[in-house]
Amino acid sequence: MPAFLTDDWFANVEKLTNEAGDLNLPPSLANLALNLVVTGTEGTTELALDSGKIVKGSSANAKTTLNLDADTLRKVFLEFDMAAAMQAFMTGKIKVQGDMSQLMALQTAKPSQEQKDLFKKVLEQTA
């Protein structure tokens, strides 16, 4: 099981994403791109949530960047814990740069069952 946010983890996420096929996303998620700058014990990692998929590096399509720690990223984006997201935002664990409306779209968007299944597999295969 690859460690969270390592190169092996990103390779596994890409493999699982390709296997998942069409994520059947609602337009609010299909058209959303967010850059994420994650701090952790191994330094800083850049990734993006682009069209419902986790990708390594930044997305040129993103108008918003979130700065957060690895634990918060795991809770919010892999476990879909919106209460943790709100708490992290209110306590300054999530810092937002850019277009806040993108973040609001994410808050109200409902992930498809296909996306939930993909992220569940990613979480199950994350050390």
- pLDDT per residue as tens digits for the range 38-92: 998 678 999 999 998 999 999 999 999 999 999 999 888 778 788 888 899 899 9
Under a CB-based contact definition with an 8 Å cutoff, are residues 71 and 57 in contact? Answer: no
In a domain, 126, yes or no: no
In a domain, 125, yes or no: no
In a domain, 19, yes or no: yes
pTM of the model: 0.88
- pLDDT per residue as tens digits for the range 114-126: 998 999 999 899 8
The angle formed by the CA atoms of residues 103, 64 and 111, to the nearest 5 degrees, is 40
In a domain, 76, yes or no: yes
What values do phi and psi take at 39, rounded to 5?
A: -100, 140
In a domain, 54, yes or no: yes
- Could you tell me the end-to-end alpha-carbon distance of the chain, in angstroms, rounded to an integer? 6
In a domain, 16, yes or no: yes
In a domain, 35, yes or no: yes
Domain span at residue 20? 7-117
pLDDT at residue 108 is higher than 80: no
Separation of alpha carbons 37 and 21, rounded Å: 26
* CATH label of the domain that carries residue 111: 3.30.1050.10
In a domain, 123, yes or no: no
